[in-house]
Copies of this chain bind each other. A is one copy, B any other.
């Protein structure tokens, strides 16, 4: 446990290292610290901090750099969120000042704004709710051999997709099947819909239809799309801002990681399995700081590729419409105090915008 003065020095090292990007020496600290002690005293304190594993040096005679453990301690105990400057606030308000027709537009825009404000890579996850129910399913024939399937949920999302009918299903059968789906499944949470889809529904359908498999595939497909987590990544190219030129290979792997579908939710501990199954093991080191915002650093990921990266996540809550998340991916060394302040404000603004959207229509009946 560092003393108060040691903690102050640690915080100052974090601050200066973040500003300059250079290791911090005892002299620099002496000039910057509010207390007046000599550089030798600071050196002694730094030796203790280093013994505690909170700071390291690149070589025997270099300044000190916060270690991952040092950042961890800083984030858990020392960081103070900074107020967001007015121009930034204005920029957020301005960029969010559109009428959105889809939730996904808002979510996507959130990632874009957040990345452009921070110059890091931003990730946004739309609001999700385990209580989302199926509110309707329709199939409309288009021409002779195509149909469009439309599925609506209580979250206000509508998923539509075109399918080609290969002749196994005629129009009467389709209508019957759709009626069965609506009678049996509307009003149920998506999870229950999924389970019923493999238990009761096939039996029911086969009583009325010749061949139900084609239809089940189709419905299952639209359902999967409607229930899929929607996330967006903004400012991918910002990873290049702080990448080490000699680590291009690693960078490439990270890009591929980001592009790989559905890897992200697992990275964020929002693994899909959590919604259907019990949570098998507690999430990894989940150091809570300042309400819904948490930070994951380097070795706390279960992916060694990210050992030099940090991820700031903020969960947000949109009333009965569920929870979502926004995140910033950057180097381990980020201006956390500013970013955490920004994330607090930004998630509030996002929630407002989402409520505004949901406010237009009634989620209960529809």
Contacts and interface: CB of A to CB of B under 8 A. Distances in A.
Interface of A: 101-102, 135-136, 138, 140, 142-146, 148, 150, 152, 158, 160-164, 236-237, 240-241, 243, 245-246, 248-249, 251-252, 255-256, 259, 360-362, 365-366
Contact of A158 (B135, B162, B240): B162
Contacts of A241: 252
B256 A248 contact: no
Contacts of A252: 237, 240-241
Given A101-B163, A246-B245, A143 B237 contact: no
Given A164-B360, A236-B255, A240-B255, 15 more contacts: A101-B161, A101-B162, A101-B164, A135-B143, A136-B143, A142-B150, A143-B361, A143-B365, A144-B365, A148-B150, A160-B162, A236-B259, A237-B256, A240-B249, A245-B245
Contacts of A164: 101, 360-361
Contact of A245 (B136, B142, B248): B248
Given A140-B140, A162-B158, A361-B145, A259 B246 contact: no
A146 B361 contact: yes
A292 to B, nearest CB: 29
Contacts of A101: 161-164
B240 A248 contact: yes
A275 to B, nearest CB: 24
A136 B140 contact: no
A144 B361 CA distance: 8
Contact of A366 (B138, B144, B240, B259): B144
A137 B245 CA distance: 53
Contact of A143 (B144, B160, B163, B366): B366
A362 B236 CA distance: 42
A243 B246 CA distance: 11
A361 to B, nearest CB: 5
Contacts of A256: 237
A247 to B, nearest CB: 9
Given A101-B162, A240-B248, A255-B237, A142 B148 contact: no
